[in-house]
């Protein structure tokens, strides 16, 4: 079973390769994550922001982050930069990363947002975790503690 770890000051080993695999699928978010981390434009290692990595038998299986949401008009956190390597899909890894990120985020704000535009699988995934579709600039789904019904439970 994959180990879910909070990333510190350095991206996990294998991140460049994960970004290459994602790009081959047409997902550019991982390349942006690597570039922004290296330049310092966006990091997940300070304040309320956090990046989580799934390690399966020494391999980086996936990542997912959370950062403060600035466009919600209230205290909120954004689920951000999620990706699981194709070899590790359908094993519950994305859900475990999301649970870690949600648990962390809900310590900082009662509202979570995400954009499910990256793939066809994104919207059903977030909805299964209790996120509801919204028509908002910058994000497509929200989770509000106490109002969304879901199978999500804190880890």
Would you report the helix, strand and coil content of the chain in percent, each value rounded to 5? 30, 30, 45
Residue pair 79/49 in contact (Cβ under 8 Å)? The answer is: no
pLDDT of residue 102: 96
Interval 131-151: pLDDT, tens: 999 988 889 999 998 765 554
Q: Is the pTM of this model over 0.85?
A: yes
Please give the helix or strand (H or E) that residue 16 lies within, else none: helix 15-24
Domains of the chain: 3-144 (3.40.630.30)
Interval 35-91: pLDDT, tens: 999 999 988 888 899 999 999 999 999 999 999 998 888 899 999 999 999 999 999
């Amino acid at each position: 079973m994959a180990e879910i770890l909070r990333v510190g000051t350095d991206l996990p080993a294998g991140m460049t390769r994960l970004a290459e695999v994602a790009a081959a699928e047409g997902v550019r978010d991982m390349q942006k994550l690597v570039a922004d981390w290296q330049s310092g434009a966006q990091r997940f290692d300070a304040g309320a922001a956090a990046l989580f990595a799934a390690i399966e038998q020494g391999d980086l299986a996936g990542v997912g982050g959370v950062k403060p949401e600035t466009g919600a008009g209230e205290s909120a956190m954004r689920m951000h930069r999620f990706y699981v390597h194709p070899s590790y899909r359908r094993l519950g890894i994305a859900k475990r990363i999301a649970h870690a990120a949600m648990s962390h985020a809900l310590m900082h704000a009662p509202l979570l947002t995400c954009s499910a535009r990256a793939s066809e699988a994104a919207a059903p995934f977030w909805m299964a975790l209790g996120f509801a579709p919204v028509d908002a600039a910058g994000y497509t789904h929200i989770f509000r503690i106490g109002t969304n019904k879901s199978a999500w439970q804190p880890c």
